[in-house]
């Protein structure tokens, strides 16, 4: 996936560092690199967020459209995830290079969100029309730990999303006519605070580290990605890499992953609240920093 | 299997007639749910009982190794093809590669599936590859790739775990060096009740959205019994963190049981092979 | 557990630090530099309608009549005698290919390394066959630029005790133009670690070894564990150098030393934050200015 390669000496150095609980950049095993979040930066989207985790840069936009619900779930709306690995991120994504990673990310994101997200909130008229959310994830730069960064950005973007208010519905036989307020500020926010975030824990030697860098991912024997809700519930687990785990190690990893996940959720929650409270004449920075 | 990814897949034109049945309110699922509350399962099994396994190896004569596994109504076929050199490979790879394909036959599920691989198949394929990768002695196949294909003929729940078990058998039948046999099993959790080896309906029930805080979802674990190593673990649903050790332990116990079955099947196979040789 | 998510709008935006002297004239591609008459066209320029124009954005440099424009940021252009750090990418007939962050991969000939057994040994078939035992793909080396081929690729040599294969430590990559050329690129900092500032922008940080290394320097030592004190210093130096490079400051022994002294008030992991980086770069610049005056 990446163009980084390491020699044995560097690997040994990283592995010993993890053993001593002091990683190459000075973090302890469970520390995250500084994260930076910006919300509502794309004016054409109903909700958007950009997250920067060291060198990983993720832009997530949510677009809202109207669709008819599936016949088997007439009261549920729809949500779809698309991940695009831009060739800007690394030359290996060029052409169809990033396709597998993108498919895996979008599938796992929808698996993780599905058990927690109440789709019936997106219903407009039962069996007739519903909201459909398109969550488009764009990976602009890839500096390791994509799963965590993507999930944080996706949650922030969904929290930032607001649905237009429906003024009235008119039923004309089988057809439904919707009237939607034309005031762009007449919207109601989508409640997405309960959504989980993903925590990747990479097993290096006999220990595991949170927020692995690309170098650490290369040294690691395997990686467990855990989706944790703010209440500490686990909604999905995935294994990455070709390693295998002892049962006790696995339990330990999941346990500490959920603890980290709760803190990560809390940190995100605080940041989002801070962003909402400072809403007056907010300046968009985007990429001009 | 013709898979043409370039062709544009138009919107689904047809709707399965099941949605127009008179019984629209999913009484089937509610029935299963109420029965489960009384610790009864629709197929009469105990909640901690595995479905009966039917194993047959060497079923695809053209392949190096193959296995057919039937678990209740879940029926699938797995075949392993000879190691061959990785085509168009520039760099030297120290470990061999596994090429996997996980395919649902178009008629295998309630709703007809497309020929093209969908995201679920891709995800299952990824998980499948990761589960069997650690078991194969890949160091012996430097610069080679091994093709492992799975075709699901009928899907009645616990597909991935059945597929992994079948792959373990097929790899063994194909005489591919392995560190250990690999087996997998799955659990469904519905309102804190643990169901071993859930069927399709039970899986749907476990994954359906509810407001309450009770544990629900599915867990799958692939295990190498004598090495005591978990090669793949995946979970979906909403579960309390403290329940994980229990689920993992339960799955490991189940896997030990399956491992015995698989081992005896393997031994009978080898004996059968020798017998047929001596009679020749 | 240390998790911090900051808001982009809350972040104090620091541009590149203000230059102390007047900035030089910067030409953009296509901009006229001067009339061609009496001047020679060098790198980064082209001739059009009787005048010299720039092809890259950068500053003009004149050597007698030769006019060149050197870009602000470019891949490494080697010069003979440069100390470089490179990573082996490929083994080909009697030579290694080395990635140097240059336009082309450099070449390290089997004859330009010291083999076990002394200087005057002939290199036979056995040596050629066991090349992978000496250096294999992914290994890091420090070497010197020996010569430049006609196509611009470099030939390296390691025929000195100070060069060799690198063991345990950290590699960081910065722009090659940020490395200040000096007599010595091997520094033992007073804090007990050594750094090698490769002219190609690769910097290697490792603990100072007390015992003399084996003469050839092609052996691996992995049993030795770097102790936690050294490890902390190495990480500190790493973060400090990255901070300096983020703010486009020249990297050499004095600037690193000053930055290290300024960084004492932060813990190592705090040095990852943008505020700390800015603070350190700023303070270091002040001290360097004072020293110049």
Nearest CA among C154, C185, C156 for reference residue C252: C185
Q: How far apart are CA A153 and CA A45, in angstroms?
A: 14
CB-nearest partner of A250 from B211, B224, B248 = B248
Mean pLDDT across A234-241: 88
Indicate yes or no: CB of B236 within 8 angstroms of CB of A114.
yes
Spell out the residues 6+ positions from residue C15 whose beta carbon is closer than 8 angstroms to its own: none
Residues of A in contact with C168 (CB under 8 A): 9-10, 12-13, 16
Q: How far apart are CA A139 and CA A59, in angstroms?
A: 6
**Secondary structure of A237-251 in the HEC alphabet?**
EEEECCCCECHHHHH
Q: In this structure, are residues B60 and B109 in contact, taking their beta carbons and an 8 Å threshold?
A: no
Average pLDDT, chain C: 83
Residues of A in contact with B127 (CB under 8 A): 238-239
Query: Would you state the pLDDT for residue A154?
Result: 93
Nearest CA among C35, C76, C72, C30 for reference residue C53: C30
Query: Would you state the pLDDT for residue C17?
Result: 62
Structure tokens at C94: 């009697």
Q: Is the pLDDT of residue A141 over 70?
A: yes
User: What single-letter DSSP state applies at residue C257?
Assistant: H
Indicate yes or no: CB of B134 within 8 angstroms of CB of A244.
yes
Distance from the Cα of A15 to chain C's closest Cα (Å) equals 10
Q: What is the pLDDT of residues C114-143, one digit of tens each?
A: 776 665 566 677 777 778 888 888 888 999
pLDDT band at C3 (very low <50, low <70, confident <90, very high): confident
Integer-rounded Cα Rg, in Å, for chain B is 20
Phi then psi for C192, rounded to 5 degrees? 95, 20
Chain A: residue whose CA lies nearest to C228: A20
Mean pLDDT across A177-206: 85
Integer-rounded Cα Rg, in Å, for chain A is 21
Task: Work out whether the CA dihedral A268, A274, A278, A283 comes out positive or negative.
Answer: negative
Report the percent of chain B where pLDDT is more than 70. Answer: 90
Looking at this predicted complex, what is its ipTM? 0.83
Annotated domain spans of chain B: 42-86+94-279
Q: Is the pLDDT of residue C16 over 70?
A: no
CB-nearest partner of A239 from B19, B119, B232 = B232
Q: How far apart are CA B24 and CA A75, in angstroms?
A: 13
Structure tokens at C246: 């983020």
Best of A74, A103, A115 to substitute, by most chain B Cβ atoms within 10 angstroms, is A115
Q: Which of A243-247, A263-267, B102-106 has the lowest mean pLDDT?
A: A243-247
Indicate yes or no: CB of A27 within 8 angstroms of CB of C220.
no
**Residue B257: CB atoms within 10 Å:** 15
Q: Which residue has the higher pLDDT, A282 or C145?
A: C145
Q: Is the pLDDT of residue C207 over 90?
A: no
SS3 content of chain C, % helix, strand, coil (to 5): 25, 30, 45
Structure tokens at B66: 């193959």
Q: How far is CA A82 from the centre of its chain?
A: 11
Phi then psi for A13, rounded to 5 degrees? -60, -45
Nearest CA among B169, B148, B136, B160 for reference residue B264: B169
Spell out the residues 6+ positions from residue B107 whose beta carbon is closer than 8 angstroms to its own: B113
Q: CB-based contact (8 Å) between A148 and chain C? A: no
| Pairing assessment for the beta strands C193-197 and C32-35 based on DSSP bridges | unpaired
Q: Is the pLDDT of residue A213 over 80?
A: yes
Q: What is the pLDDT of residues A34-44, one digit of tens each?
A: 888 888 888 88
Q: In this structure, are residues A202 and A208 in contact, taking their beta carbons and an 8 Å threshold?
A: yes
Query: Would you state the pLDDT for residue B13?
Result: 67
Residues of A in contact with C9 (CB under 8 A): 38, 275, 278, 282-283, 285
Tell me which CATH code domain B42-86+94-279 carries: 3.30.230.70
CB-nearest partner of C169 from A9, A267, A275 = A9
Q: How far apart are CA B29 and CA B9, in angstroms?
A: 32
Average pLDDT, chain A: 85
Long-range Cβ contact pairs of A275-278 (< 8 A, separation 24 or more): A275/A37, A275/A39, A275/C7, A275/C9, A278/C7, A278/C9, A278/C10
Query: Would you state the pLDDT for residue B256?
Result: 93
Q: Is the pLDDT of residue A2 over 50?
A: no
**Residue C65: CB atoms within 10 Å:** 9
Indicate yes or no: CB of A31 within 8 angstroms of CB of C271.
no
The number of residues making up chain A comes to 289
- Coil, helix or strand at residue A147: helix
User: What single-letter DSSP state applies at residue B31?
Assistant: H
Structure tokens at A137: 């994830």
Q: CB-based contact (8 Å) between A224 and chain B? A: yes
Nearest CA among A92, A106, C289 for reference residue B122: A106
Q: CB-based contact (8 Å) between A2 and chain B? A: no
User: What single-letter DSSP state applies at residue C18?
Assistant: P
Block residue for tokens 């940080």: C205
Best of C5, C6, C166 to substitute, by most chain A Cβ atoms within 10 angstroms, is C5
Structure tokens at A169: 């519905």
Q: In this structure, are residues A261 and A196 in contact, taking their beta carbons and an 8 Å threshold?
A: yes
Spell out the residues 6+ positions from residue B99 whose beta carbon is closer than 8 angstroms to its own: B145, B146, B147, B148
pLDDT band at A280 (very low <50, low <70, confident <90, very high): low
Q: How far apart are CA A52 and CA A285, in angstroms?
A: 13
Q: How far apart are CA A182 and CA A215, in angstroms?
A: 50
Q: CB-based contact (8 Å) between A197 and chain C? A: no
CA-to-CA separations, B174 to A189, A230, B58, B123, B147, in angstroms, rounded? 57, 47, 8, 25, 11
Q: Which of A124-128, A160-164, A254-258, B62-66 has the lowest mean pLDDT?
A: A124-128
Q: In this structure, are residues B97 and B146 in contact, taking their beta carbons and an 8 Å threshold?
A: yes
Residue C173 burial by Cβ neighbours in a 10 Å radius (0-12, 13-18, 19+): middle
Residues of A in contact with C235 (CB under 8 A): 22-26
Query: Would you state the pLDDT for residue A215?
Result: 86
- Coil, helix or strand at residue C263: helix
With a cut of 50, which residues of chain B have pLDDT below it?
1-3
Task: Record the pTM.
Answer: 0.87
**Residue A252: CB atoms within 10 Å:** 16
Mean pLDDT across C21-41: 83
Q: In this structure, are residues B51 and B73 in contact, taking their beta carbons and an 8 Å threshold?
A: no
Spell out the residues 6+ positions from residue B201 whose beta carbon is closer than 8 angstroms to its own: B28, B29, B32, B42, B157
Q: How far apart are CA C286 and CA C288, in angstroms?
A: 5
Q: Is the pLDDT of residue C211 over 60?
A: no
């Amino acid at each position: 996936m990446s163009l980084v390669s390491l020699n044995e000496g560097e690997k040994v150095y990283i592995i010993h560092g993890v053993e001593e609980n002091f990683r190459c950049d000075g973090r302890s095993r469970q520390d995250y690199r500084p994260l930076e979040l910006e919300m509502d930066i794309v004016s054409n989207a109903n909700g958007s967020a950009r997250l920067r985790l060291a060198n990983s840069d993720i832009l997530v936009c949510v677009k809202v459209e109207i669709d008819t619900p599936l016949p088997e779930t007439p009261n549920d709306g729809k949500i779809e995830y698309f991940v695009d690995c831009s060739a800007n991120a690394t030359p290996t994504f060029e052409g169809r290079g990033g396709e597998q990673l993108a498919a895996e990310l979008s599938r796992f994101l929808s698996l993780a969100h599905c058990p927690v997200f109440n789709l019936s909130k997106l219903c407009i008229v039962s069996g007739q029309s519903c909201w459909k959310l398109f969550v488009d994830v764009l990976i602009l730069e890839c500096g390791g730990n994509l799963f965590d960064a993507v999930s944080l950005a996706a949650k922030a973007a969904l929290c930032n999303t607001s649905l237009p208010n429906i003024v009235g519905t008119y039923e004309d036989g089988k057809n439904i006519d919707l009237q939607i307020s034309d005031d762009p500020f007449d919207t109601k926010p989508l409640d997405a605070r309960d959504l989980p975030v993903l925590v990747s824990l990479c097993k290096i030697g006999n220990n595991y580290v949170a927020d692995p860098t690309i170098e650490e991912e290369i040294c690691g024997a395997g990686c467990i990605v855990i989706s944790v809700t703010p209440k500490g519930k686990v909604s999905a687990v995935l294994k990455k890499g070709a390693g295998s785990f002892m049962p006790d190690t696995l339990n330990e990893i999941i346990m500490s992953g959920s603890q980290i996940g709760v803190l990560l959720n809390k940190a995100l929650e605080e940041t989002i609240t801070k962003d909402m409270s400072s809403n007056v004449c907010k300046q968009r920075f985007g990429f001009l920093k | 299997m013709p898979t043409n990814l370039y062709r544009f897949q138009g919107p689904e034109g047809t709707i399965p007639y099941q949605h127009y049945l008179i019984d629209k309110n999913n009484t089937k699922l509610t029935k299963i749910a109420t029965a489960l509350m009384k610790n009864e399962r629709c197929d009469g099994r105990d909640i901690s009982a595995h479905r009966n396994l039917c194993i047959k190896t060497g079923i695809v004569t053209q392949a190096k190794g193959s296995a057919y596994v039937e678990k209740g109504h879940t029926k699938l076929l797995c075949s392993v093809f000879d190691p061959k050199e990785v085509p168009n490979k520039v760099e030297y790879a120290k470990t061999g590669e596994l090429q996997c394909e996980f395919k649902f036959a178009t008629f295998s599920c309630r709703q007809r599936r497309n020929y093209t691989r969908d995201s679920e198949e891709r995800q299952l394929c990824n998980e499948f590859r990761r589960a069997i990768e650690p078991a194969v002695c890949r160091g012996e196949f430097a610069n080679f790739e091994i093709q492992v294909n799975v075709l699901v003929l009928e899907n009645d729940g616990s597909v991935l775990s059945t597929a992994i078990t079948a792959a373990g058998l097929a790899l063994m039948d194909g005489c591919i060096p392995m560190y250990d046999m690999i087996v997998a099993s799955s659990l469904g959790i519905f309102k804190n009740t643990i169901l071993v080896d859930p069927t399709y309906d039970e899986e749907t029930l476990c994954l359906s959205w509810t407001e309450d805080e009770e544990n629900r979802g599915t867990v799958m674990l692939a295990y190498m019994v004598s090495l005591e190593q978990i090669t793949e673990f995946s979970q979906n649903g909403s579960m309390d963190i403290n329940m994980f050790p229990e689920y993992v332990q339960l799955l490991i116990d189940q896997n030990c049981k399956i491992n015995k079955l698989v081992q005896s099947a393997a031994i009978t196979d080898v004996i059968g092979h020798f017998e047929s040789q001596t009679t020749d | 557990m240390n998790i911090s998510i900051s808001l982009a709008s809350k972040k104090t935006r620091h541009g590149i630090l203000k230059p102390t002297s007047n900035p030089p004239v910067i030409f953009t591609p296509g901009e006229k530099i001067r009339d061609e008459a009496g001047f020679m066209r060098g790198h980064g320029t082209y001739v059009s309608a009787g005048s010299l124009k720039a092809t890259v954005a950068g500053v003009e440099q004149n050597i007698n009549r030769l006019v060149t424009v050197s870009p602000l940021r470019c891949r490494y252009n080697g010069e003979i005698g440069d100390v470089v750090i490179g990573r082996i990418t490929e083994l080909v007939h009697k030579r290694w290919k080395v990635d140097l962050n240059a336009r082309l991969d450099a070449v390290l000939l089997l004859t330009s390394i010291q083999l076990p057994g002394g200087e005057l040994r002939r290199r036979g078939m056995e040596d050629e066959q066991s090349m992978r035992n000496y250096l294999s793909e992914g290994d890091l080396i420090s070497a010197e630029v020996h010569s430049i081929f006609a196509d611009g690729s470099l030939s390296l040599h390691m025929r000195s005790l100070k060069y060799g294969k690198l063991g345990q430590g950290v590699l960081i990559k910065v722009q090659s133009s940020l490395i200040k050329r000096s007599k010595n690129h091997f520094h033992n900092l007073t804090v007990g670690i050594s750094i090698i500032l490769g002219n190609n922008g690769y910097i290697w940080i490792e603990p100072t070894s007390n015992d003399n290394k084996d003469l050839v320097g092609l052996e691996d030592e992995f049993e030795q564990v770097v102790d936690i004190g050294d490890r902390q210093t190495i990480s500190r130096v790493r973060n400090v150098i990255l901070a300096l490079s983020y703010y486009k400051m020249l990297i050499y022994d004095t600037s690193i030393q000053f930055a290290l002294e300024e960084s004492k008030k932060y813990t190592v992991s705090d040095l990852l934050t943008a505020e700390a980086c800015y603070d350190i770069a700023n303070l270091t610049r002040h001290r360097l200015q004072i020293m110049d005056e």
